[in-house]
Structure 1
Amino acid sequence: MKEFTLEAPHEYIQLNQLLKLLNLVETGGEANQSITEGLVKVNGATELQKRKKLRPGDRIVFEEQTILIKAEAQQ
Structure 2
Amino acid sequence: MQQIDFELEGEHVELNQLLKLSGLCDSGGAGKALVASGAVRVDGAVESRKTAKIRAGQVVALGDIEVHVHAEAPS
CA distance in 1, matches of 2:65, 2:45: 15
User: What is the percentage of aligned positions where both structures have the same residue?
Assistant: 37
TM-score by length of 1: 0.89
Matched, 1:53 2:56: no
Report the CA distance shift for 1:28/1:72 in structure 2 as closer, same or farther (over 3 A).
closer
Could you tell me which residue of structure 1 aligns to residue 23 of structure 2?
Answer: 23
TM-score by length of 2: 0.89
Structure 2: runs of 5+ lacking an equivalent: none
Give 4+ residue runs of structure 1 displaced > 6 Å after superposition.
Answer: none
Q: Deviations over 1:21-64 (max 9, x none)?
A: 12211122211111011000000000000000000000000121
Displacement after TM superposition at 1:19 (Å):
0.6
Matched, 1:3 2:5: yes
Displacement after TM superposition at 1:5 (Å):
0.7
Number of residue pairs aligned between Structure 1 and Structure 2: 73
RMSD between superposed Cα atoms in Å: 1.2
Equivalent position SS for 1:38: coil
